[in-house]
Amino acid sequence: MPRQARAACPVRVLIEPAERIKGRLAAPADKSISHRAAIFAAMADEPVLITNYLEAADTLSTLAAIEQLGALVERRSEGLMIRGVGLRNAQTPAQPIDVGNAGTLIRLLPGWLAGQDGSIFQLDGDESIRRRPVDRIAEPLRLMGASIEATDKRFPPLTVEGARLHGIDYTLPVASAQVKSCIALAALLAEGSTTITEAVASRDHTERLMVNAGVKISRAGNELTIYPTDELTLPERIEIPSDPSSAAFAIAAAVLVPGSRLLVEDCSVNWTRSGFIKIAKRMGAVIITDLEERPRDGVIAPQEPVSEIDVTAGPLKPTTVSADEVPLAVDELPLVALMACFAEGQTCIEGAAELRLKESDRISAVVTALTNLGADAEATEDGLIVDGHGSLRGGQVDAAGDHRIAMLGVVAGLASQEGVEVVGVEAAAVSYPNFLEEIAALR
Question: Which residues participate in catalysis according to the annotation?
Answer: 331
Q: How far apart are CA 136 and CA 359, in angstroms?
A: 16
Judged by CB under 6 A, the stretch of 2-10, 74-82, 174-182, 364-372 that binds ligand S3P is 174-182
String marking each residue 319-348 x if it binds ligand S3P according to CB under 6 A: -----------xx-----------------
* Binding flag, residue 198, ligand S3P (CB under 6 A): no
User: In three state form, how does the secondary structure of 159-218 look?
Assistant: EEECCCCECCEEECCCCCHHHHHHHHHHHHCCECCEEEECCCCCCCHHHHHHHHCCCCEE
Alpha helices in 129-169 (DSSP H): 135-143
Helix (H/G/I), strand (E/B), else coil: 343: coil
String marking each residue 84-123 x if it binds ligand S3P according to CB under 6 A: --------------------x-------------------
Nearest to 357 by CA among 180, 109, 129, 159: 129
Helix (H/G/I), strand (E/B), else coil: 141: helix
* Binding flag, residue 177, ligand S3P (CB under 6 A): yes
* Binding flag, residue 176, ligand S3P (CB under 6 A): yes
Half-sphere exposure of 72 (CA within 13 A, CB side): 7
Which one among 124, 292, 354, 438 touches ligand S3P, defined by CB under 6 A?
354
Judged by CB under 6 A, the stretch of 16-24, 177-185, 317-325, 374-382 that binds ligand S3P is 177-185
Region 24-83 residues binding ligand S3P, contact defined as CB under 6 A = 32
Judged by CB under 6 A, the stretch of 74-82, 175-183, 221-229, 416-424 that binds ligand S3P is 175-183
Answer positive or negative: Cα dihedral of 60, 62, 63, 65. positive
- DSSP letters, 231-270, are -----SEEEPPBPHHHHHHHHHHHHHSTT-EEEEEEEE--
CA angle 69, 112, 99 (to 5 degrees): 60
Q: Which of 44, 330 has the CB closer to ligand S3P?
A: 330
* Binding flag, residue 208, ligand S3P (CB under 6 A): no
Minimum Å gap between C-beta 177 and ligand S3P is 4
Which one among 125, 203, 343, 401 touches ligand S3P, defined by CB under 6 A?
203
Given the rule CB under 6 A, which residues bind ligand S3P? Answer: 32, 104, 176-178, 181, 202-203, 330-331, 354
